[in-house]
């Protein structure tokens, strides 16, 4: 729940009308057989990569991994965690429950994530995927929407929240997640990922970032030489939400004077 830092631009949503029962019913519309599956490992192992000694995945190979993740989900062979996402629900994004099914896959050359998503009032589900190419240094992150015509690489909009790769799973409310242990296990898998670099397709370039965040209590991790990529004013939304809800920094709460510093930086004009 919100810690009341004053960083949020909109009142924190608690969604009292969206009960646990309504949540479970809405989640099952994707196909009850695809979710709430038993699991021993949170990450599904993919077949070995067909091209031995690959140094850099081709775009066709990246798309193939994305489609394989969707096929496994559609066949009920994935291990998705289902939640109402915190970052996509709070502030001015949609301000209604955003329903997510998130599944993780991997082999020796790639980490693959599938997101099946819709708002509580939408009728159909959309599919998105992230592929992390582990064959190169730095690791490269590819983002795409899986359309009827195949994967369409995205960059501009995804970068606003995903500057450092996939995000840990944080439900908008404690009871709005199916299988909390699975959510924790997938989040740990995400936390263990190597530092990576965002790939921007030509038709979806890197947006203007604004000023770089240089506050010491943030740059211990988020910096050019840190464990995660640097943050900029463009990333204000996830910064506000994750700090206010107590998820960042990961090991402590910011002191009042640090919150004041961060708030002043967030309110600075680009």
For each of the chain's 270 residues, which pLDDT tens digit applies? 999 999 999 999 999 999 999 999 999 999 999 999 999 999 999 999 999 999 999 999 999 999 999 999 999 999 999 999 999 999 988 999 999 999 999 999 999 999 999 999 999 999 999 999 999 999 999 999 999 999 999 999 999 999 999 999 999 999 999 999 999 999 999 999 999 999 999 999 999 999 999 999 999 999 998 899 999 999 999 999 999 999 999 989 999 999 999 999 999 976
Residues 6+ apart with CB under 8 A from 46: 65, 68, 105, 106, 107, 110, 112
Phi and psi for 98 in degrees, rounded to 5? -105, 115
SS (H, E, C) the chain: CCCCCCCCCCCCCCCCCCCHHHHHHHHHHHCHHHCCCCCCCCEEECCCCCCCCCCCCCHHHHHHHHHHHHHHHHCCCCCCEEEEEHHHHCCCCCCCCEEEEEEEEECCCEEEEEEEEEECCCCCCEEEEEEEECCCCCEEEEEEEEECCEEEEECCCHHHCCCCCCCCCCECCCCCEECHHHHHHHHHHHHCCCCEEECCCCCCCCCCCCCECCCHHHHCCECCCCCECCCEHHHHHHHHHHHHCCCCCCCCCCCHHHHHHHHHHHCCCC
Both tokens assigned to 146: 């899986």
Do 246 and 184 form a contact (C-beta atoms < 8 A)?
no
pLDDT reported for residue 251: 86
- Write out the two tokens for 258: 């640090």
- Cβ-count burial of 224 within 10 angstroms (0-12 exposed, 13-18 middle, 19+ buried)? exposed
Instruction: Copy the structure tokens of residue 270.
Output: 């680009």
Supply the pLDDT for residue 199. 98
């Amino acid at each position: 729940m919100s810690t009341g830092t004053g960083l949020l631009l909109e009142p924190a949503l608690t969604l009292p009308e969206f009960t646990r029962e309504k949540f479970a019913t809405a989640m099952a519309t994707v196909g009850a057989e695809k979710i709430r599956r038993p699991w021993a490992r949170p990450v599904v192992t993919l077949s070995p990569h067909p091209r031995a000694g690959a140094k850099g995945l081709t775009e066709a190979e990246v798309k193939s991994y994305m489609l394989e993740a969707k096929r496994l989900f559609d066949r009920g062979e994935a291990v998705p965690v289902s939640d109402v996402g915190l970052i996509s629900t709070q502030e001015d994004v949609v301000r209604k429950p955003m329903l997510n099914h998130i599944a993780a896959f991997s082999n020796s050359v790639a980490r693959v994530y599938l997101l099946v998503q819709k708002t509580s009032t939408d009728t159909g589900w959309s599919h998105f995927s992230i592929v992390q190419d582990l064959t190169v240094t730095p690791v490269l992150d590819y983002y795409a929407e899986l359309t009827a015509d195949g994967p369409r690489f995205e960059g501009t909009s995804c970068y606003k929240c995903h500057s450092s790769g996939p995000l840990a799973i944080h439900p908008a409310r404690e009871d709005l997640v199916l299988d909390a242990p699975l959510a924790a296990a997938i989040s740990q898998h995400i936390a263990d990922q190597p530092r990576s670099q965002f790939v921007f397709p030509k038709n979806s370039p890197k947006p203007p970032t604004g000023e770089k965040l240089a506050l010491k209590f943030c740059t211990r991790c988020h910096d050019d030489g840190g464990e995660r990529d640097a943050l900029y004013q463009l990333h204000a939304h996830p910064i506000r939400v994750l700090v206010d809800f107590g998820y960042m920094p990961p090991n402590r709460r910011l002191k009042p004077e640090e919150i004041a510093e961060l708030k002043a930086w967030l309110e600075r004009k680009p």
